[in-house]
């Protein structure tokens, strides 16, 4: 999941994973240590599915336009 660690996570300010990633210049994405990870992950998957559907619609529309 490519959402950054945020205030929804109760552990955000004291999270060892977040601090380790920050020290190593690694993106501080949300991880399973987050208290709300399962909820956030479900929302993330739904958003990614919506993006994929929109992209597929564009491909179909573009193919139809090219045929004309």
Q: Under 8 Å CB-to-CB from 60, ≥6 apart: which residues?
A: none
Q: What would the two tokens of residue 2 be? A: 């490519």
pLDDT grade for 1, boundaries at 50, 70 and 90: low
Condensed to tens digits (0 to 9), the pLDDT of residues 25-64 reads: 998 888 887 777 788 888 888 988 998 999 888 887 777 7
Domain range list for the chain: 12-67
Condensed to tens digits (0 to 9), the pLDDT of residues 9-19 reads: 777 778 888 88
Sign of CA dihedral 62, 64, 66, 68: negative
């Amino acid at each position: 999941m490519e959402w950054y660690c945020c205030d929804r996570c109760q552990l955000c300010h004291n999270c060892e994973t977040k601090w380790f990633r920050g020290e190593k210049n690694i993106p501080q994405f949300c991880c399973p240590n987050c208290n709300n990870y399962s909820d956030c992950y479900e929302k993330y998957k739904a958003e990614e599915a919506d993006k994929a559907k929109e992209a597929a619609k564009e491909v179909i529309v573009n193919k139809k336009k090219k045929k004309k």
